[in-house]
Structure 1
Amino acid sequence: MPMDMPPMSLEQAQRLYEGSAYVEVVDQSRGGSAATAAALMAQQNDAQRARSQALLDTALGIGVKAGIAWQLDKIRRDVKANERKLDTIYDFGNLMIQGRVVPPVIVQATDLYNQDGDLTLRLSGAYYKIESQAKFASVAPSWRGYLSFPTAGTLPSSFNMIKPATSAEKSLWEQGVADGWRQGIEQADIMLEHSMDRLNRDFIGMLRFHEFVLQGKITMPLIASESIPVTNNGSTMAVDETLLRITALSEFDGDMKKWTGLTPSAAPNSDVRTPWITSAPRAAAPAPSSATAQTFPVVGQGSSVPSGVVDGHDN
């Protein structure tokens, strides 16, 4: 499918074997492709059943690819429409250390239950982990790096795929494409949800790091600087160089006075703006109801969240 062409619709995928010029809306009230295939195969010999299974597998594969491409195209357009809001909320630039170092990401879990055999039970009010340590970066992270999705592969042409020949096979084909389409939509939605989870984990984790530094709960990474007037190896020469090195990574402070009784809880915020990404056409804000669109609110973990980001806890 050419890059400049819009994604194929369900009806177009179902009529792929007939060519792109003919599009027909099909009845979606029939049973699933598995039931249709079982009924058809019950009346066939081994060779016919093998053909029907191959036809169904081809239809499912085409439906999945077309569904993913269709849904991701809608997601990209909705992300594009919310660029300014996302730029405002996910401002990683203000979280950088000295403008050159990406801060550590601190993740947390609360109210943990861990049983080791019949005689030992561990209950934890809060658990913290340095998910990723500080690192140099020429530019700050961006939400665009999290919400960029791959393009779908090219669908097979009608010349190199098995085609339905009878009305029963056409019914099986159409139902197989429809089932694959639904699976593709679900996969694209899962991709979006996982991407939003990673974005919120990292952004809120960096906010939590800076909060813990101010509270003395974790150390800042140590950055050593060395000025090198000239570096000359005969064939190349660099002048006025500065060498930066991270000589010590962040570590938690084990002083219990800084941690005791500080089990986090979500701070109420009556003026929280929730950015939303929806894969269906939408009206003006507020976000559409679940009856008209699949909506993915920004969800994260943590007691300290930026304005406009929901931390996933009930207040």
Structure 2
Amino acid sequence: MSQTLSHRRLRAMTLTGFLMAACLSSCATMKDETPEPPPIPQLGGPDDLTSPRYAPLSYKQFASRAKRGKLGTTEVEEQRYSVLRDAALAYGAQAGFERRSWEIMNDLERESIKLSETFNFNRVAFKAPRETGYVLPPVITRATAAINVTDNGRKSVAADEYYRIEEPGRLVAILPTWRDYLVLPLDTPREPDDRLLPQDDDETKIWSQYLDEGWAQGEQQADAALQENMNLLRRDYLGMVEYRKAVEAGLITNLVLKSSETRAAGNVDELYIGERRVEIDDAARFVKNPARWKPIQRRFQVAK
């Protein structure tokens, strides 16, 4: 079992390193040519994603602790077998997820500076007028040589380039960071009732088998959560970069904002002095008329 755990830990650590390298290398090629705006102050200091929490138990410590029981039984019946199996799988999965998440958070702490430089939302967002926050641009995705077959294979549509708005532009009070995407919860596993713990050697064998499986499942769930969150972070950030490039090419319109200011507003219970309002009046829209596209160097040659 120790060899299995060693291999599992090595695989999990390798995955985290691969994800970090992938995000850094892919985003490094997407630098915006427009001048970078002045840095926007962000709240908080150095990342500390795991303290003051103590380190969750290792599998060896967890398995030893989880085998204690008070009652005595002599045989494992089918119903009891199912109870032990389900309890061990659930308990092991919770503990495995917590431990692996804690390891991932430590990895992210070490990569904090690189991640902040790579996914710097100051570069893609805009300051909203009248000091009303920030404008996060739409998230758009782009594909080349796209093809879509429908109607049970009777119809096919191909395009040289395909754009899609995944998320509309929106106003925010504080700019997001990679932490809003990648930080995983560190929830302490719920201790099972003593009646669900193994009470003799036969039950201990069953418990140990499924406790190990549950732990492995929890680790896999944490790695999968990191992968999913990383994919979403990359899609959103690079999608905002893609939007700015599409605006420059004339393929999509800018967001249209409208604002107003009132010296005093409110009611008998509230008073706003110098109230400023901003809202998105017109969302970004794709421009279907090629005559309005700007004659810039295209990244993909469009067939005529």
- Give the TM-score taking structure 1 as reference length: 0.68
- Higher relative contact order by CA 8 Å / sep ≥ 6: 1 or 2? 2
Amino-acid identity (%):
26
State the match for 1:95 in structure 2.
124
* Unpaired stretches in structure 2, ≥5 consecutive residues: 1-51, 70-74, 129-133
Deviation at 1:57, TM superposition (A): 1.5
- Whole-Å Cα distance in 2 between the matches of residues 5 and 161 of structure 1? 28
Deviation at 1:234, TM superposition (A): 5.2
State the match for 1:50 in structure 2.
79
Deviation at 1:13, TM superposition (A): 2.6
- Whole-Å Cα distance in 2 between the matches of residues 117 and 56 of structure 1? 44
Q: Is the 8 A contact 1:125 1:263 kept in 2?
A: no
The AA in structure 2 aligned to 1:178 is D
Are residues 114 and 256 of structure 1, via their aligned partners in 2, closer, same or farther at CA, if it must alter by over 3 Å? farther
3-state SS of the aligned residue for 2:81?
helix
Structure 1 runs of 4+ aligned residues shifted over 6 Å read none
Q: Is the 8 A contact 2:250 2:294 kept in 1?
A: no
The AA in structure 2 aligned to 1:228 is T
State the match for 1:82 in structure 2.
111
The AA in structure 2 aligned to 1:119 is R
Matches within 5 A, 1:237-252: 237-252=271-286
Pair 1:105-2:136 in alignment: no
Deviation at 1:121, TM superposition (A): 1.7
Q: How many residues align?
A: 237
Listed one character per residue, the Cα deviations across residues 162-213 of structure 1 (whole Å, up to 9, x for unaligned) are 2323323212211111111111111100000000000000000000011111
- Whole-Å Cα distance in 2 between the matches of residues 55 and 146 of structure 1? 36
Deviation at 1:218, TM superposition (A): 0.7
- Whole-Å Cα distance in 2 between the matches of residues 119 and 16 of structure 1? 61
* Unpaired stretches in structure 1, ≥5 consecutive residues: 21-43, 266-315
State the match for 1:36 in structure 2.
none
- Whole-Å Cα distance in 2 between the matches of residues 108 and 4 of structure 1? 42
3-state SS of the aligned residue for 2:173?
coil
Q: Is the 8 A contact 1:213 1:219 kept in 2?
A: yes
User: Which structure's residues are more often helix, by fraction?
Assistant: 2
- Whole-Å Cα distance in 2 between the matches of residues 19 and 4 of structure 1? 25
The AA in structure 1 aligned to 2:151 is D
- Whole-Å Cα distance in 2 between the matches of residues 86 and 264 of structure 1? 30
- Give the TM-score taking structure 2 as reference length: 0.70
- Whole-Å Cα distance in 2 between the matches of residues 74 and 18 of structure 1? 24
Listed one character per residue, the Cα deviations across residues 260-294 of structure 1 (whole Å, up to 9, x for unaligned) are 995759xxxxxxxxxxxxxxxxxxxxxxxxxxxxx
Matches within 5 A, 1:94-133: 94-99=123-128, 100-110=134-144, 111-133=146-168
Are residues 146 and 118 of structure 1, via their aligned partners in 2, closer, same or farther at CA, if it must alter by over 3 Å? closer
Pair 1:145-2:174 in alignment: no
Pair 1:11-2:45 in alignment: no
Deviation at 1:93, TM superposition (A): 1.4
